[in-house]
Amino acid sequence: MPAMPATTVRQGTTDAPTSGTASRTTSAAASDGRRPVEMLKQRWPTALAVALVILTTAGGSGELADIVGAFGDALPLLPLLYVVIHQIGRPHVTWPVLGAGVAAMVALGAQDVVSQPVALVAIALAVLVWGAVRGTPHGRAAFGVQAAGAFAFGALALVGLAVDPDLGRYLVAAGWFFHGVWDFVHLRLDKVVARSFAEWCAVVDVLVAVHLLLLL
C-alpha cells in the first residue's frame, strides 16, 4: 500500500510536460500555417510581378519583330517614371504615376503621328529640362543619376528598335535587365520611388529580359 502514492506522484509529474509539449506543437503548427500568408503579404509585389509576366508572355508565339517592338516601345517608360517621381519628390505617388504612364502608352499606341518610344523619351527630356531650370528636390547629384539613366535606357530602346530584330532583342533585353538592377539598387537605398514599386519593377524587368533572351 505505501507504494501507491509514489506511483501516483510520478504519473502526475510525467503527464504535465506531455500536455505542455502538445500545446507547443499545436502552436508551432499554427505558426507554420500562417507563415506562407505572412510571406505573401510581405512579398506581394514579387507575386504580382510574376503573375503579370506570366499573363503577358503566356502563349506568345508572335513574330520576333513584333515581340521585340512591343517591349522596346515600353522600355523608355521605366526611366521616365523615375524621372517624373524624382522631380515630384514624393515616393508615395509612384503607383498613380505608373497608372498615368500606362494610360499614356495606350493613348500613344492609338495614334500614328509619333512612335511610343520617341514620345516617351521626349517627355523624359522635357522633365529633365524642367529639373535643370527649376531645380530638384533631391539635389543635383541625384538629378544627374536619373538623367543618365533616362539617356541610357532610352538609347537602348531606340537603337534596339532600329536594328535587325535578331540583334535588337539583345539590346532591348539588356535595357530591361539593367533597369532591373537599377530597381534593386533603389530598393536597397529606399530612394526616389516607393519600395513596393521598386521590388515589383525589378522582378518584372528581369523576367522580361529572360523572356526576350529565350525567344527562338
Tell me the pTM: 0.80
The per-residue pLDDT for 20 is 56
pLDDT band at 34, cuts 50/70/90?
A: low
- Residues 131/143, Cβ–Cβ less than 8 Å: yes
Higher-pLDDT residue of 83 and 111 is 83
pLDDT band at 21, cuts 50/70/90?
A: low
As a whole number of angstroms, the distance between CA 102 and CA 88 comes to: 18
pLDDT band at 42, cuts 50/70/90?
A: confident
Q: What's the grid cell of residue 136?
A: 530638384
178 DSSP 8-state letter: H
As a whole number of angstroms, the distance between CA 100 and CA 87 comes to: 16
The per-residue pLDDT for 6 is 46
86 DSSP 8-state letter: H
Q: What is the mean pLDDT of the chain?
A: 84
Q: Which pLDDT tens digit goes with each residue over 132-175? A: 888 888 888 889 999 999 999 999 999 999 999 999 999 999 99
Helix H or strand E segment including 167 = helix 165-189
The per-residue pLDDT for 90 is 93
The per-residue pLDDT for 11 is 44
The per-residue pLDDT for 135 is 85
